[in-house]
Chain A
Amino acid sequence: QKEVEQDPGPLSVPEGAIVSLNCTYSNSAFQYFMWYRQYSRKGPELLMYTYSSGNKEDGRFTAQVDKSSKYISLFIRDSQPSDSATYLCAMCPYNQGGKLIFGQGTELSVKP
């Protein structure tokens, strides 16, 4: 069993939809949780970062962490065609950010 599981999709939604991306994990030592966005033929870039249970909002993006259920989510409101990309969750234990464990990535397509 992988330490981090992420539905690979692909996921296709109409412009303006609310998107929910999810990851589950098995290692209770994970303390830092991140979402990276990867456009085609590019390297991933950090989108959201959190280290506590609950919600963190940044514009149209909300990251949610539930440590008791070992479950994290990324919500995208009012999705735009420019949000079309692969989204990867990533996590690591305390003070080991250099050894991030990534999910498989979910490919999202937002149709105009």
Chain B
Amino acid sequence: NAGVTQTPKFQVLKTGQSMTLQCAQDMNHEYMSWYRQDPGMGLRLIHYSVGAGITDQGEVPNGYNVSRSTTEDFPLRLLSAAPSQTSVYFCASSYSGAGGGYNSPLHFGNGTRLTVT
């Protein structure tokens, strides 16, 4: 039972490069989301999806694109990396986006550590 799998674990980019952070879940969860975690800032929501074909912006969406063509996958794209995007990125999923608590807790991956130089 893999849960939420994120690849790669580590990545170094130069300013202006593009890349895609991969996220896959095998729990048949409808809801998926991307967070970034920075020191002193906690976790901040970037984009989320309540099902295949449906995405929406979170708190800090600028500089990131997402798409959801299947239930299992929710990739995050950085079109032109900037040093301000240096962070740890977490993908999360849940059965639904309604409760967020014990009946539909968020399951997190182990993160992708991104450095932009």
Chain A interface residues (CB < 8 Å from chain B): 4, 6, 8, 32, 34, 41-46, 49-51, 88, 90, 92, 95-100, 102-105
Pair A32/B109 contact, Cβ less than 8 Å:
no
B contacts with A, residue count (CB < 8 A): 30
Chain B residue at minimal CB-CB distance from A34: B101
B48 contacts chain A at the CB level, 8 A cutoff: yes
Known: A46-B102, A50-B101, A98-B50; 7 extra A-B contacts, CB below 8 A, are: A4-B42, A8-B40, A43-B4, A43-B92, A43-B108, A100-B45, A102-B43
Chain B interface residues (CB < 8 Å from chain A): 4, 31, 33, 35, 40-45, 48, 50, 58, 90, 92, 94, 96-102, 104-106, 108-111
- Which of A90, A98, A104 is close to B94, meaning CB atoms less than 8 Å apart? A98
Complex Cα spacing A44 to B105, Å: 11
Pair A96/B42 contact, Cβ less than 8 Å:
no
Pair A43/B102 contact, Cβ less than 8 Å:
no
A-B pairs with lowest CB-CB distance, top 8: A97-B100, A98-B97, A43-B108, A49-B101, A46-B105, A102-B43, A104-B42, A102-B42
Pair B98/A103 contact, Cβ less than 8 Å:
no
Residues of A within 8 A of B35 (CB): 102
Pair B102/A88 contact, Cβ less than 8 Å:
no
Residues of B within 8 A of A43 (CB): 4, 90, 92, 108-111
Give the distance to chain A from B4, nearest Cβ to Cβ, in Å. Answer: 7
